Structure 1
């Protein structure tokens, strides 16, 4: 456990203590806990942890939440989590975290179910759906929190990283777990509940395949970003910031769900084509020759080819290809004008220029945010889409930028992006050699 960052250690410790507090009332004398049901559900939970992809763990957790009081429901998942499969060290810490996570989710679902099912006129099914959604949200939030803490990322990234498909598992598993709970309490007992739980393993596998696909997509993006990092450290840091700024703009434009994530990926990967640009040009300290500039200006097309065939990056690919286009048609590679430029590219163009102006370079200091925004507004209509500029301004007014440019840019090897168009003004040309 001590190999983990301090924030992650604190999160694990806090989750374990919170789970212990939730389960403690069940251990009091005279609590009236149906220990036979706890033991039976815990045994099913242990078996579920041994199934491929733990495809029954969530349904068993919900069934326990509907059958047992909150404190007892918090105990059901603990044995299975403590003996479950763990593929990476630290094994003991991961098992402890998994037990606390499942315990808190089970307690929350049981508590919410008890509260909502007691409302006059409210039948069990709506309460089950709400409880299932709460359970899914708790599991996803804790998963995201430990990942953010372990990777030492800002905690505000937790919310943008939360899965958007939480409603599906709740709608599928909530009613089925309620049926299993009804059978469990019925005349035929726990054996009939297994007839419901076992088919749920199949539905769990189907839902899990979607999660695996999203995980594979994230791994593909990480691999591409890592390739950029190996080529040029500045470009990676720049792209990550452009991804954040693109996300801010997209939210202000009312984008949600998958579209929002697409805009973030477009920003993160917009300069992926620089993998194909000679390193000596990326790191050149001084003006570029016309020939060198032509080579640099091929990076959008290189990037477009690199991500060709990756289906989930379709819209992001358009931004990669066209983020250097300008509304007046003086950009590259195709000289598109106005709304012929894809919306994703217009979002990334503004985010890209903003970060270029507010970042330290080997030959220039970062501009204040207000100065960069003023320059973007001045160039709106000729180079940038005014809607995107206005959206970024509103987002920064409300949320702030909060990113501090590195005090020493020498380690960036002057690998500049120089994305603010030199034709906009001498001040806006971030770099002495024009765009890079």
Structure 2
């Protein structure tokens, strides 16, 4: 019988070598090596093929998991990019991020605020006590670390987050910089997250893009609404009785649309149509619009054309085209006896039916030269008497429910409505004559007129606080405005020492924030304090706060807030638009156009008062080479960090700016050449010694070259000074880069 020992041993070793190469041998398999070595050659080949098949199957399974993961990321990212509402984007991002992970049980999304802090703006998967303490203090340092390093960070949460043991924090950085941080919580150790990190980081990039898109859309919407509001105000201004009429109609129509549970998109269309429902009156002669009595048949025929004229104005390519049918048919009657087309019942767009009821109710409860305002119940009774003939029955019922609810809660809207009804008009009204008989109402009307004519936001808010304090005889009055992200309230004007101007109140459960969120009056419980929301066009812009007032004062405060809010909103939008137009998009410093405007102002001041100033230009050396080595995103970040260094180390009265590329400027009022050059040396030393983070990596700041021009020594012409200093900068030798 032949000796098979050597052959078996060779076959067994072949199996072992194959299994080791395929990564199969470990643990128990390793302990069975002696037995494997004794396997015959034929069986060895079979075992080796089986092992190879197992390895290939595992690789295929891993590839399938990877494909499913990529598909899930694309699906989640697509859903995020499918909406432009920032609140929905944030909420969905937190939920979808947690669901993408195989073991994450909760998702939290933090956004940066002023002062380097991060605020929790959306959460999913928290319940019970954790929802009450959703800020999770243990995460704060790691959120800051992920934001600073721009890298995914793991953190242990043992004993600080309920059943959750681990947090995975993903920075969300988009084209304009850091957007926020997404935190995913798991009951498993950190190692469970590691295989998922590439997919989660890809999802984080989608999230940053979606948040950026929603913010850009929000800014465009703000400007769009501001333009529409201004157009509506221009229409209302043609008639002394209709100041604010379009906004009143829009607010009431919005309330009715929500009561009827229309979709958010349709509610917004109704609101915009309410603002523009009378835009066609631009083409109606003033003699007809301002006639103090009723119109004769010929005049009424002319007035009726405003609906078709308004529809034709809106019927242009763009977002306003969706409003054409609503505006055209808001004078149709439910029984078909209205105009312009005699539509009936369901043929009338629901938005038009809502506007018809809102406008009729507003007209009946408003003072006119030819009729006194009707009480609320009488106006409702009139509408209900014509439900099914002139008005849509369901719309009338919705208005009745709203009135009952607002009356029960004593809302600012209802208080302002009652005051309007109870304030009689004596004689005819002109633009400069108050329609109120009582002294308080006259002062409120006068305040409203003054606010509308005041273009400067700070001046408007100061006037509002001071006049309100005088009208309601309170211990102190303050105006607080929401920031653009809706995350803080800041004191912009006050008549007392507390709260001090500039005080910031982050989102909380305080009466200030409850007034904003609930759109209702809140009482502080201290010093008989009252907080009233400033709401215009359905959006809260801030609050009006007063201390030590009685019930009558509270009632008057609500009326002031109701009437002043549109003027505050308009001034705020103008201020934000002006600030955005003056700022450099990359650095947030002044842009070239704004710097030149300030330069002309300083030159004019010098010629008038004999003052002096210096203009400093600096240029980042080697920026092109830096871009080539590190990429343009890194180059943009370098410019941004250099701008931050410059802005953080100059006086408050100085004007830092970015002209173009890596060229920055500094306008320094009341400074001569000696002081300007001293400042340049200090800034140069500071930059040369500083390390900055570029896309999460620490690097030495690039060297700068500098040039100085002074007025009046180098000239008293703004354009000539700028040309002079630009030539000097180009003539400066370039120091060697690091």
- Matched with 2:442 is none
Distance 1:112 1:103 in 2: 11
Could you tell me which of 232, 246, 249 is aligned with 1:242?
Answer: 249
Distance 1:122 1:268 in 2: 53
| Higher share in helix | 1
For residue 310 of structure 1, report the CA deviation from its aligned partner.
5.9
1:405 correspondence with 2:420: yes
Q: Which runs of 4+ in 1 moved over 4 A?
A: 102-106, 108-111, 121-125, 176-179, 193-204
1:394 correspondence with 2:401: yes
1:211–1:309 Cα change, 3 Å? same
1:89-122 deviation line (CA, Å, top 9, x unaligned): xxxxxxxxxx78x66979x999515289824369
For 1:100-139, list aligned pairs within 5 A. Answer: 112-114=134-136, 118-120=161-163
Distance 1:284 1:122 in 2: 74
Ranked by relative contact order (alpha carbons within 8 Å, sequence separation 6 or more), the top structure is 1
Distance 2:334 2:310 in 1: 21
Could you tell me which of 272, 275, 285 is aligned with 1:265?
Answer: 272
For residue 197 of structure 1, report the CA deviation from its aligned partner.
7.8
Indicate the SS of the match to 1:112: coil
| Higher share in strand | 2
Distance 1:123 1:273 in 2: 61
Distance 1:334 1:308 in 2: 17
Distance 2:132 2:330 in 1: 49
Say whether the 8 Å CA contact 1:380–1:389 is kept in structure 2. yes
For residue 338 of structure 1, report the CA deviation from its aligned partner.
1.3
For residue 231 of structure 1, report the CA deviation from its aligned partner.
2.4
For residue 359 of structure 1, report the CA deviation from its aligned partner.
0.6
Deviates more, 1:301-310 or 1:196-205: 196-205
- Matched with 1:208 is 215
1:162-208 deviation line (CA, Å, top 9, x unaligned): xxxxxxxxxx966x5659xx99xx99xxxxx9999888664543232
Distance 2:183 2:397 in 1: 48
- Matched with 2:736 is none
1:203–1:263 Cα change, 3 Å? closer
For 1:247-326, list aligned pairs within 5 A. Answer: 247-309=254-316, 311-326=318-333
Distance 2:365 2:309 in 1: 26
Structure 2: stretches of 5+ with no match in the other structure: 1-89, 95-109, 123-129, 138-156, 173-178, 195-199, 408-413, 434-738
1:383–1:209 Cα change, 3 Å? same
Distance 1:347 1:360 in 2: 22
1:378-425 deviation line (CA, Å, top 9, x unaligned): 0111100110001100111111333231735443679xxxxxxxxxxx
- Matched with 2:537 is none
- Matched with 1:9 is none
Aligned length in residues: 278
TM-score of the two chains, using structure 1 as the length reference: 0.53
For residue 369 of structure 1, report the CA deviation from its aligned partner.
0.5
- CA RMSD in angstroms comes to 4.6
Distance 2:112 2:238 in 1: 46
1:390–1:114 Cα change, 3 Å? same
Distance 1:377 1:195 in 2: 58
1:32-56 deviation line (CA, Å, top 9, x unaligned): xxxxxxxxxxxxxxxxxxxxxxxxx
1:327–1:200 Cα change, 3 Å? closer
Structure 1: stretches of 5+ with no match in the other structure: 1-57, 63-73, 83-98, 133-171, 188-192, 415-436
Say whether the 8 Å CA contact 2:241–2:368 is kept in structure 1. no
Distance 2:386 2:166 in 1: 58
TM-score of the two chains, using structure 2 as the length reference: 0.32
For residue 301 of structure 1, report the CA deviation from its aligned partner.
0.9
